[in-house]
């Protein structure tokens, strides 16, 4: 008897719930909570507290307005804190898990309608057991929320592609707008929907509706920054100075296999004794801004100077971008210890093997997966040319899961043939 998508959902949801409970019980009691709110998450947390207590987006208790980091995650944390209490990690993780489960089911349901039960079931199973997704859910960082928003957007875009209705187009723009408000690297992504819509022969006015609504969600942030900074500012005022300065220094000082040695030290040996002092992104930018990055007009000059340095060393920049591409696709490890690192490495390997299995099929069905390819291409291009690290791939990891699901479906159907459109079995 075939296992259909709707029969599989309750069982896979139960598996996800059990894994979530086990993670909650065995990881969190032994977890360093000061580490959870360290680094980038500390600023998201501080921004949330400022929104709650002062009604302003600030990282220093309302003394100075913050412009250099997008506010989406802080807004989300402020909402959760207002309901469940400040810094309530267990509540945050539970709510994020519920939203993630809902987004995954909705996405897989739409995927079923455009592919078949088998692909949707494999995709649902992979998304429910993927270690890097669990790590994103149990975090104060932006990647988990970004993944949830991206899943909702893609599910709604698939629905719009199927129905061509104005309502579905309008709804698709909302999560896309909040995605840009949460992960600024996707601020140009809506424009890529225009050639995608042309390729898919979608009504261009309705695609423009998605683009317009997404930027309407982002507009208050941009208008607020423009008012106080006296210049348009959507992705963190002058914050790009950080990445362009570091990429400029890398293009000048990291040549040949230097970047590869940096990755070996970072992810394998942890031995920095025989690598360039320019390997560490944070160390390089801290040498320029030892008191911390503030985002002032003078940083605009640094952006231009760094980009000129990149042009003077363009072959090195391109070579380092290839290494950035490799780093982006490394396992999202070094968070929960050796056990998690092994699991997330196996998870990444599982995805990449599945994608290899899918290669004979996906290009024949390229129209079916055009949105998936667009997201992957945009993410890889932008992050490789600016700054990439494994956790930055998490918001779009579901695109890799889709291709892996297609690959494993081919393997299953090779050994257990079943009619297309029916379930596994």
Please state, in angstroms and rounded to a whole number, the distance separating the CA atoms of residues 30 and 24: 10
- Averaged pLDDT, 220-244: 84
Q: Which residues, 6+ apart, have CB-to-CB distance to 167 below 8 Å?
A: none
Q: What is the DSSP string of 62-97?
A: TSSB--SS-SHHHHHHHHHHHHH-TT-HHHHHHHHH
pLDDT of residue 157: 98
pLDDT in tens, 144-191: 999 999 999 999 999 999 999 999 999 999 999 999 999 999 999 999
DSSP secondary structure code for residue 424 in this structure: B
Q: What is the pLDDT of residue 240?
A: 84
Long-range interactions of 166-175: CB distance < 8 A, separation 24+: 166/206, 166/209, 169/206, 169/207, 169/209, 169/210, 170/209, 170/210, 170/213, 172/210, 172/213, 173/209, 173/210, 173/211, 173/212, 173/213, 173/214, 173/216, 173/217, 174/213, 174/214, 174/217, 175/149, 175/150
- Tokens 């990891």 -> residue: 397
pLDDT digits (tens, 9 = 90+) for 361-401: 888 888 999 999 999 999 999 999 999 999 999 999 999 99
More confidently predicted of 381 and 300 = 381
Q: Which token pair is 184?
A: 């600024």
Q: Render pLDDT for 4-18 as a digit per residue (tens, 0 to 9).
A: 878 888 888 898 989
Domain-wise residue ranges, the chain: 5-415
Res. 111: pLDDT tops 70: yes
Alpha carbon 171 to chain centroid distance?
A: 21
pLDDT of the residue at 2 = 60
Question: Above pLDDT 90, what percent of the chain?
Answer: 62
Which run of H or E residues covers position 377? helix 370-385
Checking if the pLDDT of 343 tops 70, the result is yes
Cα separation of 264 and 267, whole Å? 6
Model confidence at 422: pLDDT above 50? no
Q: Answer for the pair 398, 92: CB distance below 8 angstroms, yes or no.
A: no
């Amino acid at each position: 008897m075939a296992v259909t998508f709707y029969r599989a959902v309750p069982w896979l949801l139960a598996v996800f719930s059990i894994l979530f409970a086990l993670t909650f019980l065995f990881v969190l009691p032994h977890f360093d909570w000061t580490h959870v709110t360290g680094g980038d998450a500390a600023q998201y947390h501080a921004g949330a507290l400022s929104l709650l207590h002062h009604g302003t987006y600030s990282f220093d208790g309302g003394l100075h307005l913050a412009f250099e980091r997008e506010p989406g995650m802080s807004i989300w944390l402020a909402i959760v804190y207002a309901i469940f209490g400040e810094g309530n990690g267990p509540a945050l993780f539970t709510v994020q898990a519920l939203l993630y489960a809902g987004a995954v089911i909705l996405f897989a349901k739409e995927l079923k309608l455009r592919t078949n039960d088998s692909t949707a079931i494999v995709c649902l199973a992979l998304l429910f057991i993927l270690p890097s997704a669990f790590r994103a859910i149990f975090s104060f960082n932006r990647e988990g929320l970004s993944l949830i928003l991206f899943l909702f957007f893609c599910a709604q875009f698939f629905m719009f592609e199927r129905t061509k209705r104005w309502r579905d187009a309008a709804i698709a723009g909302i999560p896309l707008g909040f995605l840009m408000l949460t992960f600024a690297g996707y601020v140009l992504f809506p424009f890529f929907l225009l050639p995608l819509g042309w390729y898919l022969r979608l009504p261009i006015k309705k695609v423009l509706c998605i683009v317009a609504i997404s930027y309407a969600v982002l507009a208050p942030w941009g208008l607020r920054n423009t008012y106080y900074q006296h210049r348009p500012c959507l992705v963190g005022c002058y914050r790009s100075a950080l990445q362009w300065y570091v990429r400029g220094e890398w293009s000048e000082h990291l040549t040949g296999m230097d970047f590869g040695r940096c990755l070996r030290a970072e992810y394998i040996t942890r031995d920095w004794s025989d690598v360039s002092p320019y390997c560490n992104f944070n160390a390089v930018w801290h040498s320029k801004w030892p008191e911390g990055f503030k985002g002032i007009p003078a940083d605009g000059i640094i952006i231009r100077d760094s980009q000129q340095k990149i042009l003077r060393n363009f072959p090195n920049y391109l070579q380092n971008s290839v290494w950035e591409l490799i780093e982006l696709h490394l396992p999202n490890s070094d968070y929960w210890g050796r056990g998690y690192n092994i699991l997330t490495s196996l998870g990444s390997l599982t995805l990449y093997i599945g994608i290899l299995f899918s290669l004979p099929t996906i290009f024949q069905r390229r129209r079916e997966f055009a949105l998936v390819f667009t997201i992957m291409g945009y993410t890889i291009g932008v992050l490789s040319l600016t700054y990439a690290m494994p956790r930055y791939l998490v918001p779009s990891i579901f695109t890799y899961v889709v291709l892996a699901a297609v690959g494993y479906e081919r393997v299953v159907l090779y050994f257990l043939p079943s009619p297309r459109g029916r379930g596994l079995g």
